[in-house]
Amino acid sequence: MPYYVAPEQVMKDRAEYAQKGIARGRSLVATTYRDGLLVVAENPSRSLHKISEIYDRIAFGGVGKYNEYDQLRVAGVRHADTKGFTFSREDVDARSLANLYAQFLGNVFTHEMKPLEVEILVAELGSYDRPDQLYHVAYEGTITDEDKFAVLGGDAETITARVSESWEAGWDLDVAVKKMVSALSGSDRSLSPRDLEAAVLSRGNGRRAFRRLDDEELERLLAH
């Protein structure tokens, strides 16, 4: 028997469903610093990454359901490598990739039964004609671009408030790491390197700017 559900209701239910899914996972923050971009996520796993390399100057961050954002990560690597091989490495940019993610997520949100329970970050290290850029794509395809910092995940509002209190342009890596980690943890708990995953897109790193910060390095950066 056919029945009618108001479109508002359908969208509201889907949004609620996606938000709930995302809120179950831990958050991720990204910021600019002196030599590039820093991404830090709360992630106790050493092998199931939230932060990954997409291309020479582009990094990926995902929160929510691992299998869903990892599929998008691989699609991003494929898109970037195909584009770079067909045209040139310089022609690969984060904006077109973020737009593809936005279209895909928007499409799934309106047409499929179940929306994807993910939020995506596409970070691009600036070069001669492009500034450093952080694209934040939400589960329903909303895309926002930030040039200071971005927060992804269920707890985004409170974390955003904490980051904006302390954020500074051009800070050093150790300061940025400390502030980002305390923004993630809040005042009532502390996070050790074992609970964290972090990576940078650094200008001093050659063609492939992406570099993971391992436990040892994180420990050193978080010390004192």
Binding site for other proteins (CB under 8 A): 47, 49, 52-54, 71-72, 74-75, 77-79, 81-86, 96, 100-101, 103-104, 208
Residue 84: what residue type? G
Cβ contact 19:154 at 8 Å:
yes
DSSP 117: -
Give the integer Cα–Cα distance in Å for 13 and 19.
10
The nearer residue to other proteins, 13 or 90, going by C-beta atoms, is 90
**Least distance to other proteins, CB of residue 175, Å:** 29
The nearer residue to other proteins, 6 or 113, going by C-beta atoms, is 113
Give the integer Cα–Cα distance in Å for 136 and 112.
22
Phi, psi angles (nearest 5°) of residue 103: -65, -45
Phi-psi region of 74 (alpha: psi -120 to 50; beta: other; left: phi over 0): alpha
Cβ contact 178:220 at 8 Å:
no
**Least distance to other proteins, CB of residue 176, Å:** 25
Q: How does DSSP assign 141-178, residue by residue?
A: S-EEEESSEEEESTTHHHHHHHHHHH--TT--HHHHHH
Two structure tokens written together for 82 = 């195909």
**Least distance to other proteins, CB of residue 77, Å:** 5
**Least distance to other proteins, CB of residue 86, Å:** 6
The nearer residue to other proteins, 100 or 175, going by C-beta atoms, is 100
The nearer residue to other proteins, 58 or 159, going by C-beta atoms, is 58
**Least distance to other proteins, CB of residue 104, Å:** 5
Close Cβ partners of 106 (under 8 Å, ≥ 6 residues apart): 140, 141
**Least distance to other proteins, CB of residue 80, Å:** 9
The nearer residue to other proteins, 74 or 161, going by C-beta atoms, is 74
The nearer residue to other proteins, 24 or 114, going by C-beta atoms, is 114
